[in-house]
């Protein structure tokens, strides 16, 4: 499976990298820079390092390339008007990865 690098990815100070995978078939979906130790509820677009879905094109949601389960839905945050993906709570697994 090919991973597409995100052209809008930025490094964030004090962040750690998470590997996001599908809960159903265990296929790697994305690498994400997480700030803080709270729960993973949403993924900001500029913090996604690479993804199984090509993020340079517009997608309304992220689906697993293997089993077609919906992982996240795209939306605009209310406070800072940033593009983000709201994750489906039972559709993904996360694991901390070294850079």
Is 70 among the domain residues? yes
Q: What pLDDT score was predicted for residue 47?
A: 92
Is 89 among the domain residues? yes
Is 99 among the domain residues? no
**What's the structural domain count of the chain?**
1
What average pLDDT does range 19-34 have in this prediction? 94
Is 48 among the domain residues? yes
Q: What pLDDT score was predicted for residue 6?
A: 87
- Residue span of the structural domain in which 75 resides: 4-94
Provide the pLDDT confidence category of residue 30 given band limits of 50, 70 and 90: very high
What average pLDDT does range 80-94 have in this prediction? 93
Provide the pLDDT confidence category of residue 57 given band limits of 50, 70 and 90: confident
Q: What pLDDT score was predicted for residue 84?
A: 93
Is 33 among the domain residues? yes
Query: For position 44, which CATH number holds?
Result: 2.170.150
Is 55 among the domain residues? yes
Residue 99 pLDDT exceeds 80: no
Put residue 30 in one of left, alpha, beta given phi > 0 → left and psi -120 to 50 → alpha: beta
23-32, 45-54, 56-65, 73-82: least confident range: 56-65
């Amino acid at each position: 499976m090919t991973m597409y690098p995100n052209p809008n990815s930025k490094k964030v100070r004090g962040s750690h990298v998470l590997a996001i995978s599908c809960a159903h078939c265990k296929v790697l979906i994305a690498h994400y820079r997480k700030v803080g130790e709270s729960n993973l509820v949403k993924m900001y677009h500029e913090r996604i390092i690479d993804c199984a879905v090509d993020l340079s094109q517009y997608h309304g949601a992220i689906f697993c390339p293997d089993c077609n389960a919906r992982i996240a839905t795209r939306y605009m945050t209310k406070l800072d008007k940033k593009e983000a993906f709201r994750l489906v709570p039972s559709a993904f697994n996360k694991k901390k990865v070294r850079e």
